[in-house]
C-alpha cells in the first residue's frame, strides 16, 4: 500500500484510496500513542526540517511530536513575518537547507502554492502544513479521522463549515477531502467572506446559521481573523458573533445533536461560544490528538517510500 505521490501538497485531486490509506494508517498510530513508550523506529536516520514562515504553535508542535515519535531527526526553522520582506528568497532558504542533506520538509507559508513551489525546487518530500488561503491537508485529514471515528463513515455525512471561507485553507482542504469521501458539504458565512463560484465545488452556501442547524450533523467552526474587519469585510466582531457565532442557543434548535469542530485556536465567544466549545458535543480535543496520529501517518507513508 503506497501513496500515489512523493509529496502531500493538498487534498485537491487526491484519490479516495490515498485518503483512506492515510486515515487507516493513522488509526494504527493512535495505538502507538497509547503506549507507555510512544516512539517507533520507522524513520530512524531520516532528517526532517520544519520550515515555518508563519507563526503557528500548535501545528508546529503537532508535526514535531509526530516526527520524533517516528524516530526522525528534527530541525525546526521558524521565522516571524513573511519571507518576502527578508533578503533571502524561499528558494534559497530551501536549497541551503537541502544542501545539509535532509529527507523531508514540512512547510507553513503565507503564500498559496508555496508548498508546490518548494516541491519543484528541492528533492526532499514536501508536506504542506498550510499555504496561505490554499490548503492545509493534514488539518482536513485529522478532521476526517475525527468524524470517521464518531460516525464510522463519511459517506452522506452532512458537514457545514462556518466562517471566513474566502481566506481559509482549512475550509478548502476539508471541502476537497470530504467531497471525495462522499460527505455532503455546505459553507456558511457573511457574503463578503464566501468566495465567488464556490458552488461549483459542489457545496451549498448558507448565510443563516438557523437554516444550517436544521439539517447538518457537524459544524466545523473557523477562526475569524480580526484583520478581515479592518479591511472592511464585516462590520464588527459583535455583529459577527450575533449572526455567525456558533452558540448553544442556536445549536439547541437543531433536531439532532450537532458535533462541533474547530481547528483552533478558538476566539472564545466570538466565532464559537465557550460553553459549546467545552460541551459534550465538541470533539475539539480529539481533533488535536488525531492531529499527531494523522501527521505520523503522512510522514510515515512518504518517508518509507524513499
Mapped onto helix, strand or coil, the DSSP state of residue 219 is strand
Question: Applying CB under 8 A, does 223 fall inside the site for another protein?
Answer: no
The answer to whether residues 242 and 270 touch, using CB atoms and an 8 Å cutoff, is no
User: What is the Cα–Cα distance from 199 to 10, expressed in whole angstroms?
Assistant: 20
User: What is the Cα–Cα distance from 110 to 131, expressed in whole angstroms?
Assistant: 5
**Closest to 297 measured CA to CA, from 49, 52, 32, 59:** 32
Least Å distance, CB 67 to another protein, is 14
Give the residue, chosen from 60, 108, 148, 172, that forms a contact with another protein under the rule CB under 8 A: 172
Question: Applying CB under 8 A, does 5 fall inside the site for another protein?
Answer: no
Cis peptide bond upstream of 169, omega within 30 = no
Least Å distance, CB 111 to another protein, is 4
Total residues binding another protein (CB under 8 A): 54
- C-alpha cell read off for 31: 495505538
Mark residue 169 as left, alpha or beta (left: phi above 0; alpha: psi -120 to 50; beta: remaining).
alpha
Q: At what angle do helices 57-69 and 284-303 cross, to 10 degrees?
A: 50
- Which string of x and - marks every residue 130-169 that binds another protein (by CB under 8 A)? -xxxxx-------------------------------xxx
Question: Applying CB under 8 A, does 33 fall inside the site for another protein?
Answer: no
Question: CB under 8 A: which stretch of 20-28, 215-223, 245-253, 268-276 binds another protein?
Answer: 20-28
Taking the least distance from each CB to another protein, the nearer of 195 and 264 is 195
Contacts with another protein by CB under 8 A lie at: 1-2, 12, 21, 24-25, 27-29, 31-32, 35-37, 39-42, 83-84, 89-91, 109-114, 116-117, 121, 131-135, 167-169, 172, 195-198, 200-201, 297, 300-301, 303-306
Amino acid at each position: 500500500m503506497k501513496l500515489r505521490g512523493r509529496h502531500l501538497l493538498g487534498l485537491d485531486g487526491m484519490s479516495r484510496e490515498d485518503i483512506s490509506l492515510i486515515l487507516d494508517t493513522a488509526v494504527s498510530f493512535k495505538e502507538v500513542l497509547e503506549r507507555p513508550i510512544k516512539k517507533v523506529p520507522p524513520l530512524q536516520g531520516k532528517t526532517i526540517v520544519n520550515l515555518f514562515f508563519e507563526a503557528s504553535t500548535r501545528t508546529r508542535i503537532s508535526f514535531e511530536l509526530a516526527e520524533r515519535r517516528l524516530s526522525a531527526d528534527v530541525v525546526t526553522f521558524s521565522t516571524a513575518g513573511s519571507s518576502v520582506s527578508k533578503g533571502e528568497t524561499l528558494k534559497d532558504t530551501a536549497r541551503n537547507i537541502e544542501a545539509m542533506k535532509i529527507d523531508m520538509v514540512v512547510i507553513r507559508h503565507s503564500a498559496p502554492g508555496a508548498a508546490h513551489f518548494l516541491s519543484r525546487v528541492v528533492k526532499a518530500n514536501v508536506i504542506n502544513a498550510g499555504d496561505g488561503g490554499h490548503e492545509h491537508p493534514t488539518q482536513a485529514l485529522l478532521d476526517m479521522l475525527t468524524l470517521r471515528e464518531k460516525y464510522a463513515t463519511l459517506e452522506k455525512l452532512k458537514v457545514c463549515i462556518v466562517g471566513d471561507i474566502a481566506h481559509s485553507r482549512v475550509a478548502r482542504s476539508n471541502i476537497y477531502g470530504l467531497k471525495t469521501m462522499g460527505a455532503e458539504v455546505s459553507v456558511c458565512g457573511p457574503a463578503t467572506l464566501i468566495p465567488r463560484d464556490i458552488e461549483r465545488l459542489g457545496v451549498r452556501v448558507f448565510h443563516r446559521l438557523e437554516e444550517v442547524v436544521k439539517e447538518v450533523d457537524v459544524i466545523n467552526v473557523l477562526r475569524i481573523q480580526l484583520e478581515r474587519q479592518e479591511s472592511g469585510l464585516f462590520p464588527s466582531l459583535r455583529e459577527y458573533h450575533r449572526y455567525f457565532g456558533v452558540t448553544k442557543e442556536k445549536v439547541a434548535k437543531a433536531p439532532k445533536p450537532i458535533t462541533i469542530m474547530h481547528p483552533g485556536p478558538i476566539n472564545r465567544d466570538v466565532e464559537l461560544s465557550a460553553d459549546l466549545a467545552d460541551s459534550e458535543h465538541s470533539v475539539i480535543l480529539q481533533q488535536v490528538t488525531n492531529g499527531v496520529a494523522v501527521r505520523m501517518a503522512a510522514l510515515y507513508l512518504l518517508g518509507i517510500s524513499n
